[in-house]
Every structure is written in C-alpha cells, then in structure tokens.
Amino acid sequence: MSRNRNDEKGIVVLMGLVFVISVGVTYIYFRHLFRRAKLSVYSKIIVFIVYVVSYGILFNAARSAFDYHESGLAFVFFIYFLALLAVPICFIAEGVCWIIEKIYDVATMKDFYASYLMLLEETRQELLVTYAEVQRPILDYLLSVPYVLEYPGYTEAKKQIVGLQYDIGLKTDILEFVSEHPETSLEVVEALSKNNLILGMNTDEVAFLRGDPNEIDQEEITANHRKIRFVYGYTRGHKDYIYFKDGIVNKIQGATL
C-alpha cells in the first residue's frame, strides 16, 4: 500500500514538472511569436492554427493507440506532454511561413523596383522639359545619367531606392535654383550635387548648400571692396567660417567642413 502511494506521489510530481515545463515553453514560444517574430499577422495566425491542429492530431492518434482511462493522472500527464510536443511543430510552421514571406517580399520588391525606376525615368523626362531653359551642359550633367533597370537584390534595392530618392530630389532642387540663378556655373553645380563647398561660390549658392548662416559678421566696406563672413554653428571649436570678398567666397575655415 505504501509503495502504491509513493508511486502516485511520483506521478504527481512528474505531472507537475511536465505541467510547469509545458506551460512555460508554450507561453515563451507564443510570446515570442506574437511580439517579436518577424512575421505578418496572417502568418502568426496560421502558426497558431497549426498548433491547435497538430495538438488535436497528436491527441487523437495517441488516444487511439493507448488506453488512458485506467489512470486519470496519467491522462492529464499525457495532455500536458502533447502540448509540449506541439511547439516544435510550430517552429517548423513558423520557418515555412518566414521563407514564403521572404520569397513574396523579394518578388514584390523586384516589381516595385522596376516600377520605381520607370517612374524616375518619367520624372527625368518631365524635368528635361520643365527646365529646358537651363544651360545644356548643366542639364546634361544632372539628368543625362540613365537609371539601371537590372534588379540588384532585395537589400541592395531598398538601399538604392533611398539613394535614388535623395538623388532625384537634390537634382530637382538644384535645377530650380539654377533656373532662378542662371549665372550659376557648371563647376558650382557639380559642387552642389556633391555637397561640396568651394571657392568662387556666391552668397546665394552658399546659402543654398549650407542654409542661412547663424551669424554674419566682420563686415568691411571700402571704396573698392566689400568683405563679410558667414558663421555656421554655435559652439566654440565647432564653427565654420566662410569669407566673402565682393560676394564671392575667397576663404573657407572651420571644424566641420
């Protein structure tokens, strides 16, 4: 009789252990799935359905193979154990969903990349017409480079699209500036497109590139010349100084240039 009680206590302890492990593993997995897994909502729902279905299949298969009506404790132990076994199946389902989503993302990104480059080409043609009065060398420099239609790959395409968005936006801004300042030289346009500050720029070109200065000081006016200085930055040791003589940059000095 004592031996039977010890056996029952052992079963209870084992069942409790399996219960704790099963509930813990299941909770951790589904917390990972619904909070951190890089899957769409639809895939997460599919994985959860897979868990329920796989658990049901395991339960029916095991119940038909074994008779658990003799021991209620063994039957409960069996239920908890099946819940634990269903989690690895969910891992497999999650992996399959992730692969399918990646394949879909790549296919979608490929189409989007091609469509976006076609849109850029249309934009380029519109800019050629809109700013036709701009000097031809400047127009050719900014807009004559064709966009490559060859798909570079998912990650590279995303980075390239961001770069092209910035590029076309910058070129549009420069074209608008040049159309308002037709005296702008090709050398300055090249510097503006590369975000470079060079000698020979005028105040408008510097302001276009760097924005309005934080301060304008050291103004000196003589019979023949007018000198001023643009100051960028507020912190000592981190200021840029751009010197102008008769409205043209003749000296550049600073910490962030």
Residues 200, 206, 208: CA angle, nearest 5 degrees: 135
Residue 184: per-residue pLDDT: 95
User: Looking at residues 231-242, what average pLDDT do you find?
Assistant: 87
Enumerate residues 6+ apart whose C-beta is below 8 A from 228. 216, 217, 218, 219, 220, 243, 244
Q: In this structure, what token pair is assigned to residue 74?
A: 């063994």
Residue 132: per-residue pLDDT: 94
Chain center to CA of 30: 26
| Count of C-beta atoms within a 10 Å radius of residue 25 | 14
**Exposed, middle or buried, 184 (CB in 10 Å: 0-12/13-18/19+)?**
buried
Cα distances from 150 to residues 59, 125, 160, 165, 202, in angstroms, run 52, 20, 12, 17, 40
For the stretch 7-25, pLDDT in tens is 556 666 766 677 778 878 8
Residue 101 has pLDDT above 70, yes or no: yes
Residue 58: per-residue pLDDT: 79
Phi-psi region of 150 (alpha: psi -120 to 50; beta: other; left: phi over 0): beta
Top-ranked range on mean pLDDT: pick from 47-51, 78-82, 134-138: 134-138
Comparing 17-26, 168-177, 211-220, which segment has the lowest mean pLDDT?
17-26
- Judged by DSSP in three states, 249 sits in strand
Residue 199 has pLDDT above 80, yes or no: yes
Q: Read off the pTM.
A: 0.65
Q: How many residues does the chain have?
A: 257
147 DSSP assignment: P
Which strand (E) or helix (H) includes residue 108? helix 72-130
- Decide which of 235 and 197 is more confident: 197
Measured between alpha carbons, how far is 57 from 49 in angstroms, rounded to an integer? 12
